[in-house]
Amino acid sequence: MSDIDLIIRNEQKEDYRAVEQLVREAFWNLYVPGCNEHFVLHNLRKSKDFVPELDFVAEKDGQIVGQIAYSRGIVRGNGREDEEVISFGPVSVLRAIQRRGIGSALITHTIDLARAMGYLAICIYGDPRYYSRFGLRCAEKYDIRTADDKFAVALQVLELKQGSLRSVSGRYVESAAFTVDEADFAQYDATFPPKEKKEAESQREFRVLASLRY
Ligand SMILES: CC(C)(COP(=O)(O)OP(=O)(O)OC[C@H]1O[C@@H](n2cnc3c(N)ncnc32)[C@H](O)[C@@H]1OP(=O)(O)O)[C@@H](O)C(=O)NCCC(=O)NCCS
């Protein structure tokens, strides 16, 4: 897809519902039966950890076809000050036009902007086969562990300035906005059209990746 086709712009309040619908469609049955990423985004935007300057949508022919949102988290070191890092997610693209560079365009655009804004590093949970292409590396390299103090294959880190994590290590603690209250979620999800929850092969792959902790 050429850059001329695609507009990357900050998300506006008027986009919120359409973007949540897009996120729901993109994630549905992919990692678990159903999904809650649209609710996470809904909550994240109201959280103190939300980074509005890094909240973007991709628009093609007047339609929103992709989105990315960022939040602040911390790396909590033993006997050290907490260090602020940022994380992206959810990030999603309309299913029908995935694998045409839109996700990469959103990620690259916002990584460059985050670097220019002076953030230290990005920490995410995701598939290394995809995110390594953006320079993300297994967090173990920096002695960064999960909140419950394990190394995890899915936990990946990108220094936004060379050496910015040299003296940073510890447990990555993501924003509390990612914690979902199931009753609130059920009420919220019921405001969208009904969709069938199903098992899918992609869920098995996700479970394997998520279980790789040591
Ligand atoms: C992940 C996502 C945002 C990528 O956006 P996209 O526009 O489809 O991706 P791009 O066209 O920029 O990149 C496509 C490449 O990424 C790879 N890729 C995409 N998702 C991948 C994944 N989950 N695991 C491994 N590779 C993946 C494709 O194989 C393709 O590689 P290739 O170019 O070598 O063939 C999009 O596929 C999506 O919305 N997926 C569903 C939601 C999701 O999983 N979000 C990420 C949660 S961590």
**Best probe residue, ligand 1, of 20, 87, 92 (max atoms within 8 Å of C-beta):** 92
* Beta-ladder partners of 73: 85
The tens place of each residue's pLDDT in the chain, 214 residues long, gives 555 589 999 999 999 999 999 999 999 999 999 999 999 999 999 999 999 999 999 999 999 999 999 999 999 987 778 999 999 999 999 999 999 999 999 999 999 999 999 999 999 999 999 999 999 999 999 999 999 999 999 999 999 999 999 888 899 999 999 999 999 999 999 999 999 999 999 999 899 988 898 9
- Find the 43 Cα to ligand 1 centroid distance in Å: 24
* Whole-model pTM over 0.85: yes
Q: Specify the pLDDT at position 4.
A: 59
* Distances from the Cα of 161 to the Cα of 9, 83, 116, angstroms: 24, 14, 10
Q: Specify the pLDDT at position 1.
A: 59
Atom of ligand 1 nearest to the CA of 124: 48
Instruction: Provide the phi-psi class of 56: left if phi over 0, else alpha when psi is between -120 and 50, else beta.
Output: beta
